[in-house]
Structure 1
Amino acid sequence: MTTSTGARAFGVRGAAFVVIGGTFVVLAILGLSWYAVEDGADTAGSGFTFADLKANADQLSAPIASAYFDWLAWALLVAVVLVGFAATLPTKVADVLRVLGFFLGVVGVAATFYALAQLFNAQRAAGGSDHGVWHNSTLGTWAALGGFLLAGIGAVLGPRRA
């Protein structure tokens, strides 16, 4: 939206959402535990991290999950942060970037869920537990999902009216 003179100013609130969302996803990827382990089966005691899920996806031949935990999560993160941040700038293309940034945030959430679902289905087919994506999920899972969503919302907020 613009004022009667068409002036816009940098969207600090939207940029803050993008930065916070992006930070949540980075933390989820770099070290937060995504799943707790029942009955002390995990000798390290920390549950499953992003890297552990990547190893499981590779071992179980889950191609989308393997791509997600290898490069796709990073690519989506970079895309939503760059587009989301650009959407907060007072430019002529801000409205298009707002829509694209939100779309990328939703794609990040959907890709995260789909990769986890594919991984759990592959584990089930290999004789693993019959649990779903949400069972024993911990901070890493929620930080990734919420981070992509927050970054997308930040893009929608866009530049503010001056």
Structure 2
Amino acid sequence: MTAAPADLLIDHPTVADGAALWRMAKESGKLDLNSSYSYLLWCRDFAGTSAVARGADGEPVGFLTGYLRPGRPETLLVWQVAVDAAQRGRGLAARLLDGVTARVMAEHGVTSVETTITPGNTASERLFTSFAARHGAAVEREVLFDREQFPDGPHDPEVLYRIGPLHHPSH
């Protein structure tokens, strides 16, 4: 667990947090909502590469889900980041991203971060470009999945942001 804004705590998610993560994703209005089952599974299987921010009552008020890419285990792929509406504007998403990245750098030797962002999602674009600037890392962008690749109707393209190389603090 690490410190966040004074009244928040950054922690690993547990299965008991899955429903709250699903609700935050749903209420974000920006994220693709996955099945509730997937959030429960994520909290079980990828807790080590994910985080929740907890309020004073211990309930999640923000989360970041991520995983190490199987073919590129030095890369953390950030899947989703959401912050409860009442907590926005406090830098919580950046703290979640910095905290998870520092953890997986220390534990797994991660040297790059990837995420996908749909065009026009300025909050996510700012979050990840400012992360790169804070860490002195380059940002490469390319379309990962184009709109016609999605089988379930209209979907904006997903642009891959590749951020790195990241350097361990001791280097």
TM-score after normalising by structure 2 = 0.30
TM-score after normalising by structure 1 = 0.31
Task: Specify which structure has the higher proportion of helix.
Answer: 1
Task: Specify which structure has the higher proportion of strand.
Answer: 2
Identify which of structures 1 and 2 has the higher relative contact order when contacts are C-alpha pairs closer than 8 Å and 6+ apart: 1
